């Protein structure tokens, strides 16, 4: 699976990847493996490894699985449900087992204390807005008009520097600046006019799905890869 920002993924899919990235980073550190060593063993760049560990949808699923393979957990979806997952020790019965894996029940839930819910909702709204603007370029003018109204009516706002940066982003259509996991990207999303490209109904649907993830979503699958979990129709 390869997902790009031109094809936004759902909030649930995003949270699955965020949890997977968190687990991969934690497991790499538990194995005392640095990013340079991990990237070399997986045959990917450190930039790609960073994207994987941040739960980005940009890397291909093949790259995710390369990292999982190096860590000894390729195909183990249970890692999404547990912070304490460890690979089966080499030479053990578990490592040699050829039995079918049992059904996996995986709990997907954003952690409010880490502001995951707000970040997840903000990112989902922005990715959906960017995708819609690419399909309907005329909406960009509506967003720019909203931004200019904010600047004209709030000259003393603390968000002025962010709005100035947003004007550059909109004119250049440099969406990546606001869609990343960096602190600056998060600040930009907090002062963003981009959601005005979406209809009220579209915004409500995204917020509703994020609220469901906040409460907790349980998935059950016999899939061998994350791709089959995210796309259950493909696994049938």
Angle between helices 11-30 and 46-53 (to 10 degrees): 120
The structural domains of the chain, with segments of one domain joined by +, span: 11-85+223-235, 116-212
Domain 11-85+223-235 carries which CATH code?
1.10.260.40
Phi, psi of 106 (to 5 degrees): -120, 130
For the cut 50, the answer to whether the pLDDT of residue 4 exceeds it is: no
- Candidates 103, 123, 87; CA nearest to 228 is 103
Which pLDDT score is estimated for 200?
Answer: 94
Average pLDDT over residues 42-51: 93
For the cut 60, the answer to whether the pLDDT of residue 78 exceeds it is: no
Q: Locate 209 and state its tokens.
A: 């799905």
Q: Based on the number of CB atoms within 10 Å of its own CB, is 89 exposed (0-12), middle (13-18) or buried (19 or more)? A: exposed
Condensed to tens digits (0 to 9), the pLDDT of residues 204-229 reads: 999 888 887 777 655 554 444 444 44
CA distances (Å), origin 194, targets 10, 63, 113, 144, 166: 18, 31, 26, 9, 9
- What DSSP line would sit under 112-133, residue for residue? GGGTHHHHHHHHHHHHHHHHHH
Which pLDDT score is estimated for 32?
Answer: 94
**pLDDT-derived band at 84, boundaries 50, 70, 90:** very low
Question: Which of the pair, 94 or 120, is modelled with greater confidence?
Answer: 120
pTM for the predicted model, two decimal places: 0.62
Condensed to tens digits (0 to 9), the pLDDT of residues 155-188 reads: 999 999 999 999 999 999 999 899 887 889 999 9
CA distances (Å), origin 123, targets 72, 101, 132, 143: 31, 34, 14, 17
C-beta of residue 59 within 8 angstroms of C-beta of residue 20:
no
């Amino acid at each position: 699976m390869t997902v790009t920002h031109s094809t936004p993924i759902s909030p649930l899919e995003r949270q699955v990847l965020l949890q997977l990235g968190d687990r991969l980073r934690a497991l790499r550190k538990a194995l005392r493996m640095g990013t340079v060593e991990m990237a070399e063993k997986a045959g990917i760049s450190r930039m790609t490894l960073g994207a994987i560990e941040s739960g980005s949808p940009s890397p291909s699923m093949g790259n995710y699985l390369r990292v999982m393979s190096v860590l000894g957990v390729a195909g183990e979806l249970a890692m999404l449900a547990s912070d304490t997952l460890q690979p089966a020790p080499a030479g053990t019965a578990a490592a040699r087992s050829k039995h079918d894996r049992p059904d996996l029940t995986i709990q997907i839930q954003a952690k409010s204390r880490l502001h995951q819910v707000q970040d997840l909702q903000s990112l989902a709204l922005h990715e959906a807005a960017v995708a819609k603007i690419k399909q309907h370029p005329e909406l960009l003018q509506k967003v720019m008009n909203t931004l200019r109204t904010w600047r004209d009516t709030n000259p003393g706002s603390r968000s002025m520097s962010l709005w100035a940066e947003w004007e550059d982003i909109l004119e250049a259509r440099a969406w990546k600046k606001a869609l990343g996991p960096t602190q600056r990207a998060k600040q930009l999303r907090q002062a963003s006019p981009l959601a005005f490209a979406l209809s009220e109904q579209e915004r409500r649907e995204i917020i509703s799905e994020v609220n469901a993830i906040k409460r907790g979503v349980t998935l059950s699958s016999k899939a061998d890869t994350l791709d089959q979990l995210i796309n259950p129709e493909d696994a049938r």
